[in-house]
Amino acid sequence: MVGGNASSVTDFILVGLFPEFQHSIILNFVIILIYILAFLGNLLLIVLICGDSRLHIPMYILLSQLSLIDLTLTSTIVPKTASNFFTGKRIISWIGCGTQSFFFLMLGMSECLILTLMAYDRYVAVCIPLRYPTIMSLRFCLHMVAGCWIGGSIGSFIHTVYPMHFPICGSREIHHFFCEVPVLIKLSCEDTSVYQSVVVVTSIVLLVVPFSLIIASYTLIFLAVVRMNSVKGRKKALATCSSHLTVVSLFFGPNIFIYMTFTSSHSPEQDQALSLFSNILTPMLNPLIYSLRNKEVVAALMKLIGRCGVS
């Protein structure tokens, strides 16, 4: 019996978010508030980009995809976590755990690729602006976005199906607030060292390589900005690029630590804190980071407010 309900032998038990924390009810209410703000902020950004024809360019199309990913990512994690806490039912089925893990990985992998594309978009815009309309055409952008989603889905399917079939001999208690591959692997009584190596290699491909490409892109952008004669152009380029670099740091930092070193002894509290920061707090900050420092987005917001006022 767990939380008043009987569980089957295939169910998992989610311990929850910092179960030893004395003020857990306050923490969960804060998490729900952050989720609501993240959901509304990203939804608003998507509506602004879709509704304003001036924002129908590659830079903002990629930004809308990032907002869609963040909106869906938080919705994959927070509602189940909140439901488990307030109902006392900490059980998640084998299918439910696999589904949550699949969507979490798919969205995370897609976000890695989208952020890399955003860096490439800024590199072309700043370093070779005359060729920008040719290279970053709308068709090319849409094809690349589709590729990000397809690539994320395939990678996630592989890394969900395979670890979910590892035998679990002992406790099925997951010391986390959602189903995540590194935590699931720790429950297995089988030797998973080979698969762990595969995950590290995958992390290099999907985290370290994109992060290195992003850093290389921004190094070239910075050198190009330094050589600019226009002070206004320099400020605009730095403002746009600094926003993206902030988001990149918030996303890649915690995830590289989790997936590149998950074979070492992470405490459950460390895993939860990093996941909380990367997957719940960061999606709330992204709309603020991009909108407050972006005149085009602010103008689209004012236009929308004006329409609502007239209505």
- pLDDT by position in tens, the chain (length 311): 344 444 556 788 888 888 777 788 898 999 999 999 999 999 999 998 988 888 889 989 999 999 999 999 999 999 999 998 888 888 888 899 999 999 999 999 999 999 999 999 989 988 898 999 999 998 999 999 999 999 999 999 998 988 888 888 777 888 888 888 878 888 888 888 888 888 888 888 888 899 999 999 988 888 888 787 777 767 767 776 777 788 888 888 888 887 777 555 667 778 788 888 888 988 998 888 877 667 788 787 788 777 776 65
Half-sphere exposure of 107 (CA within 13 A, CB side): 24
What's the pLDDT score for residue 198? 86
The residues pairing with 92 across neighbouring beta strands, listed in sequence order, are 12
What's the pLDDT score for residue 4? 42
What's the pLDDT score for residue 62? 93
What's the pLDDT score for residue 292? 66
CA neighbor of 260 nearest in space, from 167, 210, 196? 196
| pTM of the complete model | 0.87
